[in-house]
């Protein structure tokens, strides 16, 4: 990009040159020049323009011919050889003055460039095209900015940049291994002097009247003695280092040599700039500091930091210290003080050192606490969420009251309380196991075999809120224990194929392995009765047709016959029994409760599978309330009001409104 900028600068300069030619005599036409290449002619004209050649004094000056003829080798200050420009020498002129900016000359055969005691300003180009240059003298101008490293000037032997306004640090001039003479005096250069590692041939050096600071290097590539005239008191230019801002000898040996041969080497420049040192403190300690103020560049700065009682001074911040040379910038120096006060260690006495076994249902207890120092702070923290506090912290002497929630488990549990650095163990008993409650229904509980009974244990429960994890069913025939049935689950079914009574047991187990059992009797008998009504209706109104039938199924034998009893209970509690008399004109014969001899609806039953009409009529007015129909088998000649039943008790409630 830099080269592109140079290109456009050249175009602008050449355009200006062509335009300005119309206001003066005929300008140089580089295409007509035969002495040197066109590119070198153009570079000379660029130099002419950038240094304001139009303002050069022509009368009595030494720079005649510029931009007037096509013979640039005859222009003032220009020397040519073998068709190339080899020298530009403007050092002897006392009339004309070059001004403006020095361009990056495209004169690859140029060997000498001397522009001393003129008015050139701006910065120095790197002269990247002047690879044959061995002599460069730009002293006595007004050049500013930093000194280039002159990377491509590997043949440079003499470099004079003294008496300008150059700033910044001195380059190490790594590629200038042929350099013998270096004069950078009377500028505004700052920083440390480089070691000039590759300047093996350096003989003459002047760095006076700058603002340089720090140690004078050992100059390992050539040595300090080489720069000083043997037997004399100074270097080639007089003193090499005088009038800077606090240079220090590399070592005592170097200091002896300097004192003997350059006794003004550490003379201070009266124009050295000054900078401020501001002091601040940091840290948790206390102290006082001194040494804040304004110091000249390179002067010794002495800072003092004194820690207060129970504090220690840790040190100064970077770039600062108890003693240092003032750098070329303002400084803020921080002194860090740390507190050295040692707080007495608090110790605590806790009674008791462990808790009693606390109740499973929830409990409370406490610890008495005291400390060796009255202002010691204590704090209690539980390791588990089931331990809580009413006062978990305090100072000095106190009491820690804590609570434990109900233990949902049957196992003992342990938690800890951390009181500062002491651990207290808290134990709580497990809850007393509570057995679950087994409950079930069997539908039906009685009937003819094969009797399929649907079992339901969903009403079983665990009082402590646990989970019932298993349901086991066992049925054993009362008169023949070898006949058994089994099932599992909440809602299984069992089929009772053999006649007889069965003891059906439900066993449940909860998540704490607590068990409970309950037993009911299931009868798979030889007689079974049941009622039905129109559409299985239970509610009727006066004037509606009501019809109730009884289904009866018996499979007995000759020697074990039964009697079927049936009846109806009126709203007032009186029971009328259905008789065996024939129904006449829709009248169904019923009789009040019999005597001890009783009488059955259908006696002497051996086998039957039939339905019987129990009621069939239009409901008259006044017949209101709840009517309950009953039916049951008993052994032959027995009375169901006093004797055991042979079948299930069939029951049907009818409500008349």
Ranges of each domain in the chain: 274-339, 348-428, 441-524, 527-656
- Helical axes 38-50 vs 2-20, angle rounded to 10°: 80
pLDDT at 342 over 80: no
- pLDDT (tens digit, 9 = 90+) per residue, 249-301? 888 888 888 888 788 888 888 888 889 999 999 988 899 999 999 988 888 89
pLDDT at 159 over 90: yes
Strands 165-166, 545-555: pairing kind: unpaired
Residues in the chain: 657
> What number is the average pLDDT over the span 424-449?
88
pLDDT at 168 over 50: yes
Q: Give me the pLDDT at residue 595, please.
A: 52
One fold for 441-524 and 527-656: yes
Closest Cα partner for 631 from 562, 524, 529, 546? 529
Beta bridge partners of 635: 562
Q: Give me the pLDDT at residue 106, please.
A: 92
CB burial of residue 103 (10 Å; 0-12, 13-18, 19+) = buried
Q: Give me the pLDDT at residue 530, please.
A: 86
pLDDT confidence tier of residue 630, bands split at 50, 70 and 90: very high
Topology adopted by domain 441-524: Immunoglobulin-like (2.60.40)
| 8 Å CB contact between 643 and 562 | no
> E strand or H helix at 206, and its extent?
strand 204-206
CB burial of residue 319 (10 Å; 0-12, 13-18, 19+) = exposed
Q: 351 or 15: whose pLDDT is higher? A: 351
Q: Give me the pLDDT at residue 520, please.
A: 92
pLDDT at 119 over 50: yes
Q: Which of 232-241, 242-251, 340-349 has the lowest mean pLDDT?
A: 232-241
pLDDT at 132 over 90: yes
Q: Give me the pLDDT at residue 329, please.
A: 87
CATH number of 527-656: 2.60.40.3880
- pLDDT (tens digit, 9 = 90+) per residue, 1-33? 334 434 444 443 443 444 343 334 458 899 999
pLDDT at 50 over 60: yes
DSSP characters for 105-149? Answer: ---TT--EEE--SS--BSPPP--TT-TT--EEE--SS--EEPPP-
pLDDT confidence tier of residue 470, bands split at 50, 70 and 90: very high
Q: Which of 14-18, 185-189, 211-215 has the lowest mean pLDDT?
A: 14-18
| 8 Å CB contact between 518 and 439 | yes
Q: Compute φ and ψ for 323, nearest 5 degrees.
A: -155, 130
Q: In CATH, which of 3.30.720.120, 2.60.40.10, 3.40.50.300, 3.40.50.720 is domain 348-428?
A: 2.60.40.10
Q: Give me the pLDDT at residue 131, please.
A: 92
| 8 Å CB contact between 440 and 368 | no
Q: Give me the pLDDT at residue 88, please.
A: 93
- pLDDT (tens digit, 9 = 90+) per residue, 472-488? 999 998 888 999 999 99
> What number is the average pLDDT over the span 65-84?
91
pLDDT confidence tier of residue 230, bands split at 50, 70 and 90: very low
Under DSSP, the state recorded for 559 is: G
Average pLDDT, the chain: 85
Whole-angstrom CA distances from 444 to 359, 410, 462, 647 are 47, 39, 26, 12
pLDDT confidence tier of residue 235, bands split at 50, 70 and 90: very low
Q: Give me the pLDDT at residue 10, please.
A: 44
């Amino acid at each position: 990009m830099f080269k592109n900028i140079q290109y456009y600068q050249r175009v602008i300069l050449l355009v200006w040159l062509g335009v300005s030619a119309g206001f003066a005599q005929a300008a140089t036409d580089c295409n007509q020049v035969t002495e040197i290449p066109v590119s070198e002619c153009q570079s000379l004209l660029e130099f002419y323009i950038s240094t304001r050649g139009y303002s050069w004094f022509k009368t009595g000056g030494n720079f005649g011919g510029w931009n007037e003829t096509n013979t640039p080798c005859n222009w003032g200050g220009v020397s040519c050889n073998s068709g190339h420009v080899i020298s530009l020498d403007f050092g002897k002129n006392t009339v004309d003055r070059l001004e403006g900016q020095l361009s990056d000359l495209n004169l690859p055969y140029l060997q000498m460039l001397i522009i001393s005691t003129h008015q050139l300003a701006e910065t120095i180009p790197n002269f990247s095209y002047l690879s044959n240059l061995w002599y460069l003298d730009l002293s006595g101008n007004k050049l500013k900015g930093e000194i280039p490293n002159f990377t491509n000037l590997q043949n440079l032997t003499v470099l004079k940049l003294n008496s300008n306004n150059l700033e910044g640090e001195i380059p190490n001039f790594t590629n200038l291994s042929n350099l013998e003479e270096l004069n950078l005096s009377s500028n505004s250069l700052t920083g440390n002097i480089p070691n000039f590692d590759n300047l093996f041939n350096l003989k003459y050096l002047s760095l006076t009247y700058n603002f340089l600071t720090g140690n004078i290097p050992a100059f390992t590539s050539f040595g300090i003695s080489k720069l000083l005239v043997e037997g004399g008191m100074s270097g080639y230019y007089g003193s090499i280092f005088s009038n800077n801002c606090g240079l220090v000898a590399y070592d005592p040996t170097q200091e002896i040599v300097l004192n003997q041969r350059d006794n003004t080497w550490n003379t201070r420049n009266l124009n050295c700039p000054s900078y401020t040192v501001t002091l601040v403190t940091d840290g948790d300690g206390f102290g006082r500091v001194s040494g804040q103020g304004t110091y000249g560049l390179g002067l010794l700065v002495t800072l003092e930091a004194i820690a207060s009682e129970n504090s220690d001074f840790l040190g100064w911040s970077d770039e600062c210290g108890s003693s240092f040379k003032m750098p070329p910038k303002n400084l803020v120096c921080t002194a860090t003080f740390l507190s050295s006060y040692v707080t007495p260690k608090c110790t605590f006495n806790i009674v008791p050192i462990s808790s009693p076994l606390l109740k499973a249902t929830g409990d409370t207890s406490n610890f008495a606490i005291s400390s060796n120092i009255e202002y010691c702070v204590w704090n209690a923290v539980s390791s588990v969420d089931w331990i809580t506090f009413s006062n978990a912290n305090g100072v000095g002497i106190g009491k820690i009251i804590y609570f434990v929630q109900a233990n949902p488990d049957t196992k003992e549990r342990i938690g800890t309380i951390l009181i500062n650095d002491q651990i207290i163990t808290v134990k709580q008993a497990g809850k007393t196991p509570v057995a679950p409650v087994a409950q079930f229904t069997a539908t039906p509980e009685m009937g003819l075999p094969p009797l399929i009974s649907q079992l339901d244990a969903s009403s079983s429960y665990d009082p402590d809120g646990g989970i019932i994890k298993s349901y086991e069913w066992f049925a054993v025939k009362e008169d023949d224990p070898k006949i058994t049935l089994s099932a599992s689950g909440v809602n299984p079914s069992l089929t009772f194929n053999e006649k007889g009574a069965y003891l059906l047991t439900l066993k449940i187990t909860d998540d704490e392995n607590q068990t409970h059992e309950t037993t009911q009797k299931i009868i798979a008998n030889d007689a079974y009765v049941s009622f039905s009504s129109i559409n299985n209706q239970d509610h009727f109104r006066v004037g509606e047709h009501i019809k109730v039938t009884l289904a009866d199924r018996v499979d007995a034998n000759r020697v074990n016959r039964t009697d079927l009893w049936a009846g109806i209970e009126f709203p007032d509690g009186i029971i009328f029994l259905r008789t065996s008399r024939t129904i006449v004109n829709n009248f169904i014969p019923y009789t009040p409760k019999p005597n001890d001899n009783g009488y059955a609806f259908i006696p002497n039953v051996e086998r039957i599978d039939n339905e019987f009409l129990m009621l069939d009529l239009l409901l008259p007015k006044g017949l209101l309330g709840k009517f309950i129909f009953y039916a049951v088998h008993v052994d032959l000649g027995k009375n169901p009001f006093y004797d055991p039943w042979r079948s299930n008790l069939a029951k049907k409630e009818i409500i008349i409104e």
